[in-house]
Amino acid sequence: MPTNINKTASESSSNAMLLLITRLHFYIGFFIGPFIFIAALTGTLYVISPQIENAIYKDALTTQSTGEIQSLAAQITSARSYLQEDLKLFAVRPAPEQGDTTRVMFLDSTAGFSGARALFIDPVTLELKGNLPVYGTSGVLPIRTAIDYLHRQLLLGEVGRYYSELAASWLWIAALGGLFLWYKGGKKNTAEAAKKTELLNKRRRHYQVGLCLFIGLIFVSITGLTWSKWAGGNIGTLRTSIGWVTPSVSLNLAQKSDEIVSSDEHAHHQNVESEPHVSTHSINTDLLFDGVLKSARDAGIDSNILEIKPSKGEGKAWFVREIDRSWPTQVDSVAVDASTMTVTSRADFKNFPLVAKLIRWGIDTHMGILFGVVNQIILAAFGLSLCFMIIWGYKMWWIRRPSAASTSKPLTQAWKKLSTLQKTMTFIIAIALGVSLPVMGVSLLIFLLIDIWRAKRA
């Protein structure tokens, strides 16, 4: 007899947990689904934006000139001659290949989101090929910058960042909950699908796509959170406290060359005005670019895609970094003392801790950069599939909506049926996640208020 009682109690507790996760999964899909849909759609658009950018700005990015490449000093002088006002030079990106232009970048408060402007110079003829605002380490141009901001904040400023953080905070929970529901009851739907009812077909597609995307859902959610305002700040603090920082060079000439300084992997999504390496020197500084580049090349900076930033003052070194984040990753960097043309500090990717490498690769994969076109295709297919999965989820709700109000149990009612241990564990997990992911915590409280109102109304 006691055995039967224990078995009944265990089944009741298991059913209560199933009901709880079912209701939570529904709430996430119903209330958070639109935000995840927008994030997936705009993210897909961003993934294919490099091709859009290259097509729109082809005249600025490329040149048909052939012949001897002029010195960087000559190219910078040419760029300055096209300026309408005296702007502060903060970085130069030499032409990567024959047929490409050199980017000479200046701080410009009138340049929109980025606060920076690039003059695209033909390295052979010194002709101006383009004059455009640029943004972040990636040096993205206006169309791609707009798509980036659309994905991150819906062009609404800092307030808009809450939408993307909300989507990223709940996406991994939705994925885990969906996997649990499939394991508990969704598997039998594949057999019942032979009935070819509309509901079962939608449910089958929803489950199948969800299972195929499961790893991607977790990956995109976690990497997306690192960009967020509140959760991202907590993640950054945690990484610093346990030593998971990305090494960078020291630009202080008074410091030892082996001193480790952390860098920000998300710099390509930051305004250049927030970056520390800004020149305050006169035009005479332009003459040093070629020598600094040669010193960096001699020190092993061999990527065609690189950036040179002059010293920002006395006692500070120049900064030369590789910015090719495709495969194989080339992100080595060195600090150069321009007075002696010697390397004073360096950070080589091959010497990065494994965690720092994984973080770098994870971020670049999220952006569709790491494996080039293959990466883009996979992410585009992933984003569109996620959009369809959300649509099928809404269709399932729409088909069964007449009976949903009378048959579905409130979230709080399901929680009350859990065992004491389950209640304690779910409460602790909810508090921990709410503190670590504040946007999730606030939205969970809203879920509960809606649930309580719904229970009283019923």
Number of domains comprising the chain: 3
For the stretch 99-131, pLDDT in tens is 999 999 999 988 877 789 999 999 999 999 999
Asked if 175 and 281 sit in the same domain, the reply is no
First CA to last CA distance, the chain: 37
Exposed e or buried b per residue across 325-357, where buried means at least 16 C-beta atoms within 10 angstroms of its C-beta: beeebbbbbbbbbbeeeebbbbbebeebeeebb
Asked if 360 and 258 sit in the same domain, the reply is yes
pLDDT of residue 433: 96
Asked if 409 and 435 sit in the same domain, the reply is yes
- Write the CB contacts of 396 (distance below 8 Å, at least 6 apart in sequence): 199, 202, 203, 206
Asked if 187 and 314 sit in the same domain, the reply is no
Token pair, residue 205, equals 């597609």
Question: Domain range spanning residue 92?
Answer: 63-152
Whether 55 is covered by a domain: the verdict is no
- Helices (DSSP H) in 305-437: which residue ranges? 354-366, 372-399, 401-407, 411-416, 420-436
Whether 305 is covered by a domain: the verdict is yes
Asked if 87 and 223 sit in the same domain, the reply is no
CA atoms of 164 and 38, how far apart (whole Å): 9
Please answer whether residues 161 and 228 qualify as being in contact, where contact means their C-beta atoms are separated by less than 8 angstroms: yes
Show which of 94, 123, 152 is a domain's final residue: 152
Asked if 430 and 452 sit in the same domain, the reply is yes
Task: Name residues of the chain where pLDDT drops below 50.
Answer: 1, 5, 187-195, 257-259, 273-281, 404-407
pLDDT of residue 203: 82
Token pair, residue 189, equals 């739907």
CA atoms of 269 and 137, how far apart (whole Å): 7
CA atoms of 407 and 391, how far apart (whole Å): 23
- Token pair 């939408």 in the structure block, residue: 163
pLDDT of residue 292: 98
Strand pairing class (342-347; 128-133) = unpaired
Strands (E), 245-401: 246-248, 261-263, 306-309, 318-322, 333-337, 342-347
CA atoms of 13 and 173, how far apart (whole Å): 21
Show which of 346, 366, 386 is a domain's final residue: 366
